Structure formats: structure tokens, C-alpha cells
Chain A
Amino acid sequence: MGEAQVRVDEVPLGGTRWRVHDLALACCALEYAAASVRLKTARAGDSDAELARGLDLLAPGPEGADVLVVSGTVTDALAPSVLAIWERMRRSRHVISFGSCANSGGPYWDSYCVTKGVDQLLPVDVYVPGCPPRPEALLDGLAQLRRQLAGVES
């Protein structure tokens, strides 16, 4: 009924600051960018300030990133490059599939050249639904992942 929308605020984000890298493939990347602007411009006392403390959404590359967010459609031709980027992350890494295309191929599920979900290539920890998902949905997905790793029941 709307209670799902408070999940983000529930999660304590104390501890290490997560570095998150966006694998920007298509339209979902714009929602990711909106989320990153939102956190970057959060001021102390904002509800977003806590999130901004716990998350750096602008990790410039997969090296040193804790989380890879796959934003957009994975085409068969680009699949090897997607895999190569994931392989450049360090051992302790997580993947968020962001948006319908990354989740399952989405509206392009029947295409001759689209991979039906990035989980055909990499292990995915959290799937964020939407086409595109709102920036708030990305933040919820990241909070969901943290909760998952902390062993907290959702």
C-alpha cells in the first residue's frame, strides 16, 4: 500500500561507504544519474544525507567498486565487454540489475540481439524492477542489498 516505500529509510547505513559503479548501457542510466545528483546535492539534515554518507554512486570504474549497477539493455554483441567490466572488480563484489532490460531483456525479450537479462552473464544480487525504475527505486535496491548482506530480514 505504500509501506514498501519506507524501506530505504529503515536501513542503517553506518559503516563503510559503498563505492557504486554504473555500467551505463541505456535509458536506465539517466535514472541512475538522477539518483547520483540527488545524493550529491543532499544537505546535512536531508533525509538523503544518511544515504549520501553511506553511498558513493560515482565510482569512476569497476576497479575498487563494491557494487556494479547494470543500467540498461545488454546486447549479445556487447556481452563480452559487460563480462570484462565485471571481471575487473575485486573479489568482494555485488551486482544490481537495474531495470527490465537488465532483469530479463525486458520489452526486448524477443529481439534477435538482446541478452535476456544480465544474469545470463553475471551473478545478480538484487533485481530492481521498473522501466525505468525511479531513482528512489535504485536507492531502495541498494538498501535492500545492504540489508541482505547484513543478514537482516526484509
Chain B
Amino acid sequence: MSVPERSRGVIALIEDNCTSCMLCARECPSWCIHVDSHGVTEVPAEGGRPRTTAVLDRFAIDWSLCMYCGICVEVCPFDALEWAPAHAYAEQAVGALLHERERLADWLVE
């Protein structure tokens, strides 16, 4: 049962683009995006200033709360979130509608 390619069925995560900036989690009206990260401090070169970057630990979206408004997709400065057309992911348990980063990456349509 096919649907139009650009249908807004689910949101996919492009992990490589995510910097754990937290903007999606902050702007989400349903509070359904969960992001955990930790800071990694590195000295880029001998005598260089230490720099801390955030490394993504956990990225999860709770589809039982999501209202598919797309604010997270729009606000991400790094295009780490994208719409995908998949719509058939009903579950027997409501907890299974909480998708972690692996599942979110799977939704990506190349």
C-alpha cells in the first residue's frame, strides 16, 4: 500500500549530523524527544586550547506523544532530522512506540 514519497509518516535521525544541541528537545511542544549526551574534552594540537564537544549518547522519540508538527525537523540547525513516509509501525504495547536512535536511523529513506 504505497503512499506519496514526501508523506510525513515518521521522522528519521541522521546521527552523523547531530551535535546534541538540544534544540529539538526544547522546541518540541509534546516533550517527546529525549536527548542525552556527554562532553568530551580534547586538545586538538600540541599547546592548543582544550575544546569540549558534546557526544550523543541517547536520542529517542516517543511516537505516542508526538503530534507530527515537524518543529523539530525545522529547528534542527544541522539537518539531523528528516521526514520519512513510513506509516505502518503500530505496536501492541504503547512503550514500544518509544523509538531509540537505532530505530530512528532505520527510517531514513536514501
| Known A107-B30, A107-B65, A129-B66: A136·B3 in contact at CB below 8 Å | yes
Task: Give complex CA distance A93, B74 in Å.
Answer: 42
Contacts of B1 in A (CB 8 A): 5-6, 8-9, 47, 136, 139-140
| Known A127-B94, A127-B97: A106·B87 in contact at CB below 8 Å | no
Judge whether B57 is part of the interface by a CB distance below 8 angstroms: no
Judge whether A100 is part of the interface by a CB distance below 8 angstroms: yes
Question: What's the dominant secondary structure at chain B's contact region?
Answer: loop
Judge whether B54 is part of the interface by a CB distance below 8 angstroms: no
Within the complex, the shortest CB–CB distance from A3 to chain B, in Å, comes to: 9
Tally of contacts, chain A with chain B, CB under 8 A: 105
Contacts of A141 in B (CB 8 A): 90
Q: Mark A101-131, 1 if CB is under 8 A from B, else 0.
A: 0011111011000000101000011111111
| Known A107-B29, A130-B68, A134-B3: A5·B91 in contact at CB below 8 Å | no
CB-nearest residue of chain A to B10:
A129
Contacts of B46 in A (CB 8 A): none
- Is the CB–CB distance between B90 and A127 below 8 Å? yes
26 contacts across the A-B interface (CB closer than 8 A): A1-B106, A1-B107, A1-B109, A4-B88, A5-B87, A6-B1, A8-B1, A8-B88, A100-B30, A103-B64, A103-B65, A106-B67, A107-B67, A110-B31, A126-B90, A127-B91, A127-B97, A130-B9, A130-B68, A131-B66, A133-B87, A134-B3, A134-B87, A136-B87, A137-B87, A140-B88
Give the interface of B toward A (CB within 8 A).
1-3, 7, 9, 29-31, 62-68, 85-94, 97, 106-110
Give the interface of A toward B (CB within 8 A).
1-2, 4-9, 47, 97, 100, 103-107, 109-110, 117, 119, 124-131, 133-134, 136-137, 139-141, 144, 148
Additional 18 contacts, C-beta under 8 A, given A103-B65, A127-B64: A1-B107, A1-B110, A2-B85, A5-B85, A8-B88, A47-B1, A100-B63, A100-B67, A103-B64, A103-B94, A107-B67, A110-B31, A127-B94, A129-B90, A131-B68, A136-B87, A137-B88, A141-B90
